[in-house]
Structure 1
Amino acid sequence: MRIGDAERERALERLGRHVGDGRLDLAEFTARSERVAAARTAAELAVVESDLPRLPPPPDPDRDRRVRRAALAATWGPWAVTAVVVLTVWAAVALGGGGTYFWPIWVIGPWGALLALGALTGLPLAGPCGRARSRVHRVHAPS
Structure 2
Amino acid sequence: MSIPLRAAGAVLIAALLSGCGASAAREDAASSAGGRFGAALAAGDYRAACALLAPETRDEVEEDAKGPCGPALRELGLPPSGPARGVDVYGRDALLRTAGDTLFLSQFDDGWKVTAAGCVPQSTDEPYRCSLKGG
The TM-score with structure 2 as length reference comes to: 0.26
> Between Structure 1 and Structure 2, which shows a larger proportion of helix residues?
1
Question: Larger radius of gyration, structure 1 or 2?
Answer: 1
> Between Structure 1 and Structure 2, which shows a larger proportion of strand residues?
2
Higher relative contact order (CA 8 A, sep 6+): 2
The TM-score with structure 1 as length reference comes to: 0.25
